[in-house]
Structure 1
């Protein structure tokens, strides 16, 4: 079976406010961008060769709410200590300060950051088992 590709898609009111977090802080690449496709603007970010990417869309004339809770998480498992430290440092160097996790489990071996819409990303210093 071929490896499936996972796209995580969600709406936002301001794609431009999210780009510094995902592109600069997390180091994701813009894979594709579009404007006014049936009233939608969007951007897809990821890493070439990986089996996942994120899509953020804005429907012109519509307003969406932010994250429904502080426990809406994307978790990146980074088992290599040096790579994890570098990822955390890159977020902080781009002006993103850690936030306390809603679930304290994620603070034990990870660091949580919050994007402009209130959604959270955990950089977890562990291997997925």
Structure 2
């Protein structure tokens, strides 16, 4: 069975700041970008080998606002302790301090960060088990 690729697409009022958070802070790769495409600017970020990527778009003259709640999360599972610590440190080194998670569950084995739009990213130091 082919594994489908997942794109999570989200508008932002702060495209450059959001790109810095996810590319420089989180360590994702800029896979593609576009300007003035049907009235939108945007960027796709991810890891070239991963079956997912994030797309952030901005429509000049249109305001989208901040995250609706503090519990809007992207969760990245990083089971290797050294890899997890390096990811946490990279975000902190780029000026993104950890924030307390709205749901305390995520603070038990993870570290939560808030992007420039108020959306939260959890770096979970655990394997994803279903």
What 5-or-longer segments of structure 2 have no aligned partner?
A: none
- Name the structure 2 match of 1:58: 58
- Name the structure 1 match of 2:16: 16
Pairwise CA distance, 1:20: 1.4
Pairwise CA distance, 1:35: 0.4
Determine if the alignment matches structure 1 residue 34 to structure 2 residue 34.
Answer: yes
Q: Deviations over 1:12-51 (max 9, x none)?
A: 0121011111001110011000000110000000000110
Inter-partner Cα distance in structure 2 for 1:14 and 1:116: 7
Inter-partner Cα distance in structure 2 for 1:33 and 1:44: 6
Q: Secondary structure at the match of 2:19?
A: helix
Q: Which runs of 4+ in 1 moved over 4 A?
A: none
Q: Secondary structure at the match of 2:85?
A: helix
> RMSD across aligned C-alpha pairs, in angstroms?
0.6
